[in-house]
Copies of this chain bind each other. A is one copy, B any other.
Amino acid sequence: MSALRKYEARVDSVDSLLCVGLDSDIKRLPPEFDAVEFPQLDFNRRIIDQTACYASAFKFNMSFYEAAGAAGWGQLKDSLDYLRRSHPGILTISDAKRGDIGNSSAAYARAIFDELGFDAVTLNPYLGSDALQPFLDYKDKACIILCRTSNAGSGEFQYLRVSGRPLWQAVAESVVDTWNANGNCMLVAGATFPEEMAAIRAIAGDMTLLAPGIGAQGGDIGPVLSAGLNSRGKGLIISASRSIIFAGDPAAAAKSTRDEINRFRS
C-alpha cells in the first residue's frame, strides 16, 4: 500500500488528522528518564502508548536523535520498530529535510526508507529535481517537499518574488506539475501562515499537506483547517510536537488536539 493510502485509511479508521511529533530532545525529557539506559526509546514508547489511538501519523525529527550520536540512532530505529509493531497502520514520517546531489541523496533515501523503514520523508528543494529524484523513485513512499515552512524567518528567501510570485509558489508548482509523476509527493505548509496555506491548497488540488507549527509555534487550528482541508475534508497532516509530548498528560493533550481539529472539520 502506498504511504498516502496508508495515511488516508488511518485517518478514516481513527477519525484523526493528528500527527504526533516525537521531538524527543534528550535535554527536555522528564527527570525519571535521566538514569535509564535508553531514555529516548523509553520516553517514545510511553508517548506512543499514550497517544497512538488519537494519531494517524508520527513524525520523528532526526536532529534530536543525531544529537545523541550512534546511541540516538539506535533509539530512533528501536522507537520506530516499536511503533510499527504496535500500530502498523500509522504513517511514519522522517522529518529530515534532506536534499543533496544524486549519489548522496540516493544514500539518504536508503538510510531513511530502507535502513530505518520510514513511510515518508521531508525534503528540501533548493538543489533542484535531480537531487530529489532518488527519493521520488520510491513509488510507495511519500516525499514531503518543503514549500512554506513554519519558522518566523522563513520568508527571507521563500517570499522572494520570481516571475511575479513568491519562491514558495514556484516550488509548489514544480512539485504539482513535475515531481509528482508517481503520485507520491506532499508539501510542507506551515500552520503559522494560514493565508499561504490557502494559496498552496489552490495550487495543489487534493494533494496532502504536512502542517507543522500548531502548539508551541503558535499556529491556530481553525484557520489552518479552513484554509487547508482538501475537497474530501482530508488532505492535511496536522503536526504537534512539544505541546503534546512534553504536556503533563500527553494522552489528554493528544485527545484534545485531535478533538479540536475535528470540531473544525465538521
Q: Contacts A67-B110, A70-B74, A111-B66 given; indicate if A127 touches B99 (C-beta within 8 A).
A: no
Q: Contacts A98-B97, A104-B23, A124-B124 given; indicate if A111 touches B157 (C-beta within 8 A).
A: no
A44 within 8 A of B: no
A116 within 8 A of B: yes
A205 within 8 A of B: no
Contact partner of A129 (CB less than 8 A), chosen from B105, B107, B153, is B153
Would you give the shortest CB distance from A91 to chain B, in whole angstroms? 20
Give CA–CA (A98, B122) in the complex, Å.
12
Chain B residue nearest to A161 in the complex (CB): B162
Q: Is the CB of B101 within 8 A of A157?
A: no
Would you give the shortest CB distance from A103 to chain B, in whole angstroms? 7
Q: Is the CB of A160 within 8 A of B163?
A: yes
Stretch from A3-11, A82-90, A167-175, A255-263 contacting the other chain: A167-175
Q: Is the CB of A107 within 8 A of B66?
A: yes
A107-160 interface with B by 8 A CB criterion: 107-108, 110-112, 114-116, 124-131, 146, 149-158, 160
Give CA–CA (A125, B99) in the complex, Å.
12
Give CA–CA (A158, B131) in the complex, Å.
13
Contact partner of A69 (CB less than 8 A), chosen from B116, B125, B150, is B116
A33 within 8 A of B: no
Would you give the shortest CB distance from A151 to chain B, in whole angstroms? 4
